[in-house]
A and B are shown apart, each in its own frame.
Chain A
Amino acid sequence: MLLYVKQSRPTHDDAEMKPPPFRYHDPKTVDEAIGLLGSLENAKLLAGGQSLMPMLNMRFVLPDHVIDLNRVDGLPYIREQGGWLEIGAMTRQRDLEFSDAVRARWPIMHEALLQVGHRQTRNRGTIGGSLCHLDPAAELVSLAIGHDAIVTVAGPNGKRELPFLDFPAGYMMPSLEPNELLVAIRFPQWAPGHGYAFVEFARRHGDFAITSAAALLEGDPSGKITRASVTIGGMGTTPSRARELEQAIVGQMPTAQLLRDACESCRKLEAIDDIHAPASYRQHLAAVLSRRALEKAYARLTGHELAAGRPH
């Protein structure tokens, strides 16, 4: 059965139009998208739409052009090669959540994704969209920082790679030229059996975190920590590594007390005040959540809980 629907019923007038007017483009190739970016003024890229669409509906952004990446060939993929996980920018969060490779070898990503929005938003939301939106509380941004991931950016003169640590140029501002496009990101693998944990504090399940902590640990057979990565999200303008904490625990045989003391350094990280929480509360959460993440990661690394120090 084929039904033809007449356009513009009288009820559908400008008064109830949510997004502002724009010209719509749906390129089929990366080159075509870059060409559009280079030739159009005030253009916005539309990936999964889980951040841009709300901003359009509320008219927080008023683009003259929307370039929809959903029909671009070759941007959604998950590829594992030589100890790296390469993810195409338009890969849906859902496809990462359900990936066997992610679950087996990048388990922290699986744990973090379950805290990214809800099933309905993960079905549409993409990794590239999340990384370029660059919300300081976004779980995937924290993971990219915690892994020293590498992004691939395409522009008119070809592709370039840069460490994700250099990707944020400021608050929610990726270091991309106006005619450049994020096409992929690579995550290195941590040793088989590594410890990991992603913990966050949010008002409701699926909300952006007020503060989050991502921990990765490697150790030797005696239980001594040989490598550590701890990333705190939701504090400053971008998630940041807790370097002082990392240095304090590498080479150590941790006890509950040692972790508790080491995590205190997270209180010194820069934090913002906003409607959700004052800076001092975020700094408190950073110390608490980094400890919880490390305790969980260490238990996963060694297969047993730490001997209790003082009660929590």
Chain B
Amino acid sequence: MGETRKIALSVNGKRYEAEVEVRWTLADFVRHTLGLTGTHLGCEHGVCGACTILFDGRSARSCLMLAVQADGHDLLTVEGIAPSPDKLHPLQQAFHENHGLQCGFCTPGILTTLIEFLHDNPDPTEQEVRVALSGNLCRCTGYQNIVIATLDAAKRLRAGADWRMAAETK
């Protein structure tokens, strides 16, 4: 074991303290140490977007950050999106109803990316949605239903759907 540091951070509204090796990526820490395996690892060099999380509310590739950099920060992973264990978030509901996923490997990174995107832009055009998704690779769907689901989710958001996530309903 190399050099370690103690870090304290918030993930999905819960406080954690842990000792991490300084060379661990944030993605590996989230998956292996915290056991939050919803964050997926595809390419591990910043291309595929599967490991996208929200870091202080901004989408970021967790494979391109070190766990030690998260000390004192707030993270949101896909596990923190649904408001409760038996209820989907409107964004997830829109993906469910519009067949916005097939194998689902890329979905956690897409959902976290869209949480930030729709917060900034609740009334996007189809082209804006496609650009927003350009950093997330999906090899199943051809993106068509992901785009449809995103536009549907935006519509629900504008119609006043309860957009709060688990971290915010605690």
Chain A interfacial positions (CB closer than 8 Å to B): 1-5, 7-9, 11-12, 16-24, 26, 46, 49-50, 53-54, 56-58, 66, 68, 70, 94, 114, 117-121, 123-124, 204-206
Contacts of B58 in A (CB 8 A): 94, 123
Q: Which of B32-67 contact A (CB under 8 A)?
A: 32-34, 44-46, 49, 52, 55, 58-61, 63-66
Q: Are A7 and B4 in contact (CB under 8 A)?
A: yes
Interface residues of B, count at CB 8 A: 44
A120 touches B32 (CB 8 A): no
B-side contacts of A54, CB under 8 Å: 45-46, 64
Contacts of B33 in A (CB 8 A): 5, 7, 9, 12
A278 to B19 CA separation, bound complex (whole angstroms): 49
Q: Within 8 Å CB of B19, what residues of A?
A: 7
Given A58-B45, A68-B69, verify A121-B15 contact (CB < 8 Å).
Answer: no
Q: Does B157 contact A (CB under 8 A)?
A: no
Neighbouring A residues of B132 by C-beta, 8 Å: 119
Report whether B64 and A23 are in contact in the complex, using a CB–CB cutoff of 8 Å. no
Interface stretch of the complex, out of B21-29, B77-85, B86-94, B140-148: B21-29
7 tightest Cβ-Cβ pairs between the two chains A and B:
A118-B135, A24-B22, A54-B45, A53-B64, A5-B18, A21-B2, A123-B58
**Does B111 interact with chain A (Cβ within 8 Å)?**
no
Distance A24 CA – B68 CA, assembled complex (angstroms): 9
Consensus secondary structure, chain B interface? mixed
B134 proximal to A (CB < 8 A): yes
Q: Is the CB of A49 within 8 A of B64?
A: yes
Given contacts A119-B116, A119-B135, A120-B59, contact A50 B34 (CB under 8 A): no
Cβ of B14 under 8 Å from chain A: yes
* A103 vs B59: C-alpha distance when bound (angstroms): 22
Q: Is B1 an interface residue (CB 8 A)?
A: yes
A166 to B34, CA, bound (A): 47
- Measured between beta carbons, the chain A residues less than 8 angstroms from B135 are 117-121, 206
Q: Cα distance A66–B55 when bound, in Å?
A: 21
Known: A3-B15, A20-B23, A24-B5. A57 touches B32 (CB 8 A): no
Is the pair A23, B22 in contact by a Cβ cutoff of 8 Å?
Answer: yes
Q: Which residues of B contact A46 (CB under 8 A)?
A: 66
Query: Chain B nearest CB: distance from A292 CB in Å?
Result: 20
Most buried by B among A1, A12, A54, A120: A120
- Our count of residue pairs bridging A and B at CB distance below 8 angstroms stands at 124
| B3 interface residue (CB < 8 Å to A) | yes
Given known A-B contacts A16-B28, A204-B134, A205-B131, A120 and B45 have beta carbons under 8 A apart: no
Knowing that A7-B33, A24-B22 are A-B contacts, what are 7 other residue pairs whose CB atoms are under 8 Å apart, sorted by A's residue number?
A2-B15, A22-B22, A23-B3, A119-B113, A119-B117, A123-B59, A124-B65
A70 to B44, CA, bound (A): 21
**Bound-complex Cα distance A20 to B14 (A):** 30
- Name the B residues within 8 Å of A70 (CB-CB): 69
Taking CB atoms, residues of chain A closer than 8 Å to B18 are: 4-5, 7
Task: Return the chain B residue nearest A14 by Cβ.
Answer: B1
A contact residues around B32 at 8 Å (CB): 9, 11-12
Which residue of A has the minimal Cβ distance to B19? A7
| A232 CB, min distance to chain B CBs, angstroms | 24
B124 nearest CB across to chain A (Å): 12
A24 pairs with B66, CB closer than 8 A: yes
In the assembled complex, the Cα of A26 lies from the Cα of B22 at a distance in Å of 11
Known A5-B18, A5-B34, A120-B113; judge A57-B63 contact (CB<8 A): yes
CA distance A49 to B27 in the complex (A): 14
Q: Would B46 and A18 count as touching, CB distance under 8 A?
A: no
Q: Which residues of B contact A12 (CB under 8 A)?
A: 24, 28, 32-33
**Residue ID in chain B nearest A17 by CB atoms:** B23
Across-interface contacts of A17 in B (CB, < 8 A): 21, 23-24
10 example contacts (A-B, Cβ-Cβ < 8 A) are as follows A3-B17, A8-B1, A12-B33, A18-B25, A19-B25, A118-B49, A119-B113, A121-B135, A123-B60, A206-B135
Least CB distance from A59 to B in Å reads 11
Q: Which residues of B contact A56 (CB under 8 A)?
A: 23
Q: Quick one: which of B4, B14, B59 contacts A119, CB cutoff 8 A? A: B59
Note all chain B residues with C-beta closer than 8 A to A1: 14-15
When C-beta atoms are compared, the residue in chain B nearest to A3 turns out to be B16
Q: Does B20 contact A (CB under 8 A)?
A: yes
Considering the chains assembled together, what is the distance between the CA atoms of A121 and B20 in angstroms? 24
Q: Bound state CA distance, A17 and B4, in angstroms?
A: 14
